[in-house]
Chain A
Amino acid sequence: MIRNRKRYWLETGKAYLYLLPVLVILGVFTFYPMVRALHLSLHRWPLVEIPGRREREFVGIENYVNLLNHPRFLRSLRNVSLYALFSVPLSIFLAIGLAILLNQKLRGRALFRLAFFLPFVTPAVADALIWRWLLDYRFGLINYFLRYLGVDPVAWLTTPALAIPLLVILNSWQTVGFQGLILLAGLQGINSQYYEAAKIDGANAWQQFRRITMPLLTPQIFFLAIISAISAFELFTQVFVLWVGSPGPVASALTPVFYIFETAFRRHRMGLASAAAYILFAVIFVLTLIQFKVSQKRVHYDQ
């Protein structure tokens, strides 16, 4: 008994040695900054202090109150919510189609998979840069096609109403292959006996899809909905590149991360930026909780 105890604590000591490097790094660059950001968010915190003019001071929840009354920040939240609302379902919808197509015995399946997956691994900066070129008003390929079809060219990148739709399309192009792959793995995990049983019962293709495929695919769909919603709320790089370092015409592509970026690193207001980051965190957190709640009713885990 005593020997066992001793062994347990010896093993505990050893285990912590194995964990030490990771725990130190997470401590310094994840846990500490979590607390530090909260601390900063309760202060006015200019990056550089100028005595008498720009000083650091405790302001309580003033940053939060100001942000929630600040049209520019609210606009960024609205933009990104709209973006998530369209991009998450659209890309998952396309990915379901892709996964079903790829789940057949077709020639060149590997090639198709490769083509669809490619934009996911290439750097987002390069992807967005290519799209900026395709969308160019005068010289872009897309407006050329429109002209060819007799349609007036569209000022894609300078029309405020088009900013979010463009980002939604770019995102679908980038992620449909990745999402399709995850759903394909889900499809391949479905026991074929279900389909055989359904066929015997006379179920047609649509009924099989509705009653077997979709329910058994819900774990993967749920997983994708969560991770793509989170990454949607953290949109930044594509905006930065498409609009050359600006948040789009009249801030139509301003996202919360972009807002935090400009507040912290262009205007050097670290406290305000941290408060904005915490509000974004809260939004993402609540959203994820809601998704979990919904999923408890809807997701079927096959045993």
Chain B
Amino acid sequence: MIVIKLKIGALRGFSYAVLISGSILMLLPFLWMISTSFKTFAEALAMPPVWIPDQLIWSNFADGWAMAPFARFFINSVVIAIATAGGGVILSVLAAYAFAKMNFFGKNIIFMILIGTMMIPGIVLLVPNFLTIVRFGWIDTFQGLIIPWLASVFVIFLLRQFFMSIPNELWDSAQIDGCGRFQFLWRFIVPLSIPALSTAFLLRFIGSWNAFLWVLIMTNREEMRTVPVGLALFAQEAGIEYQLMMAMATLAIIPIMLLFLACQRQFIEGVARTGIK
């Protein structure tokens, strides 16, 4: 008995040791980023490194912010992420509703085709889409950065699964009370699906916030860039002013980090659900 207890104790100790050192390894880059962003130029490059800066140099944030139109980058990112996630969820709700609760001609074929599009690497579509966006006159516009991303097959799939779990008897009785299709969606399905909808919104928001290549291609003017693209191009010009780069990287990460901390349950459950088939 004692031997078993000792064994379990040793196993626990080992697990804690691995998890704690692993967590430190995971977080160290972020801690180093934050620490660097508060240093003077000299401190940032000092060897041996300064772990905790003497004084917190808040002006790094102001200086970096002033070297490129970061205010615009943030506004753009917020607008694009909210519009993409919000609009995307609305359109996906409509499509998922049709797939989950309606019987129609071509349903299975269309659904299979949509699922098939998930196989297509984005890069195949990038060149022709660039030409389309140019032809539409959508370079450097919000619509060029939002509209193509409103249709997410992945979210449709996720929501369809959820909607299918809502019993059809509900629709039967709602119908007797004179409830129409759209009313049923709006008054019953949507309120019942808030957890799934917020997971979908969150996944799309983070995906949009972090998007890089599309924005890089579809914008020329600095004022239309988003935070990641603005940050990447700022980093090309900032040389070895790492304290400024890290200050701006900190700002780029904070909104996503806060959102993630606030909604981690929906988020983690949403991700976990995608893996269960």
Instruction: Assess A185 versus B210: contact at CB under 8 Å? Given A104-B15, A106-B16, A125-B232.
Output: no
Cβ of A166 within 8 Å of any chain B Cβ, yes or no, is no
For the complex formed, measure the closest distance between the CB of B156 and the CB atoms of chain A, giving whole angstroms. Answer: 7
- A87-122 interface bits toward B, Cβ cutoff 8 Å, 1 = contact, 0 = none: 000000000011001101010000111111111011
**Does A16 lie within 8 Å of B104, measured CB to CB?**
yes
Q: Does B23 contact A (CB under 8 A)?
A: yes
> Given known contacts A14-B102, A22-B91, A112-B19, is B47 in contact with A139 (CB within 8 Å)?
yes
**Residues of B contacting A277 in the complex (Cβ-Cβ under 8 angstroms):** 121, 123-124, 126-127
Asked if A157 is at the interface (CB within 8 A of a chain B CB), the reply is no
Which residues of A (157-211) have their CB < 8 Å from a CB of B? 173, 177-178, 181-186, 189
Whole-angstrom CA separation of A19 from B122 in the bound complex: 22
Residue B190 at the chain A interface, CB threshold 8 Å: no
**Most chain B CB neighbours (cut-off 10 Å) among A22, A98, A245, A274:** A22
Complex CA distance for A111 and B246, rounded to whole angstroms: 24
Partner of A15, one of B102, B213, B242: B102
* A118 and B125 form a contact (CB under 8 A): no
Q: Which of under 10, 10 to 19, 20 to 34, or 35 or more describes the interface residues of B?
A: 35 or more
State whether B257 touches A122 (Cβ < 8 A): yes
Bound Cα distance from A223 to B242, whole angstroms: 39
* Cβ-defined contact, B91 with A119, below 8 A: no
User: Bound complex: CA of A134 vs CA of B249, how far in Å?
Assistant: 14
Q: Could you tell me the distance between the alpha carbons of A34 and B272 in the complex, rounded to whole angstroms?
A: 31
Binary per-residue interface labels of chain A (269-286) against chain B in the complex, 1 for a CB within 8 Å, 0 otherwise: 010011001101100110
A26 to chain B, nearest CB (A): 5
A130: Cβ under 8 A from any B Cβ: yes
Given known contacts A25-B148, A134-B29, A274-B127, A18 and B102 CB-to-CB distance under 8 angstroms: yes
Assess the A236–B236 pair: CB atoms within 8 A: no
Residue contact A30 to B275, C-beta cutoff 8 Å: no
> Taking the complex as formed, is B206 at the interface, i.e. its CB lies under 8 A from any CB of chain A?
yes
Given contacts A15-B98, A22-B156, A144-B49, contact A115 B26 (CB under 8 A): yes
**Are B206 and A130 neighbours in the complex by a CB distance under 8 Å?**
no
Cross-chain contact B29 with A11 (CB below 8 angstroms): no
A144's partner among B47, B229, B277 (CB-CB below 8 A) is B47
Name the residue in A11, A111, A115, A256 with the highest tally of chain B Cβ atoms < 10 Å from its Cβ: A115
Q: Are A186 and B129 in contact (CB under 8 A)?
A: no
Minimum CB distance partner of A107 in chain B: B16
A21 touches B (CB below 8 Å): yes
Interface residue B18 (Cβ < 8 Å from any Cβ of A): yes
Is A86 an interface residue when CB atoms closer than 8 A count as contact?
no
| A219 on interface, CB distance cutoff 8 Å | yes
Is B275 in contact with A220, judged by CB distance below 8 angstroms?
yes
7 smallest beta-carbon distances between A and B, as pairs: A182-B275, A33-B128, A15-B104, A185-B272, A36-B128, A115-B23, A12-B104
Q: List 6 A-B contacts (CB under 8 A).
A: A15-B103, A31-B117, A123-B256, A184-B272, A234-B122, A260-B126
| B residues at A contact (CB < 8 Å) | 12, 15-16, 18-19, 22-23, 26-27, 29-30, 32-33, 36, 44-45, 47-49, 91-92, 94-95, 97-98, 102-107, 110, 114, 117, 119-132, 147-148, 150-151, 153, 156, 181, 206, 209-210, 212-213, 217, 227-229, 231-232, 235-236, 240, 242, 245-246, 249, 252-253, 256-257, 260-261, 264, 267-268, 271-277
Told that A106-B15, A244-B235 touch, could you supply 11 new A-B pairs with CB distance under 8 A? A21-B94, A22-B151, A26-B114, A29-B125, A29-B151, A115-B23, A119-B30, A122-B253, A125-B210, A125-B228, A241-B232
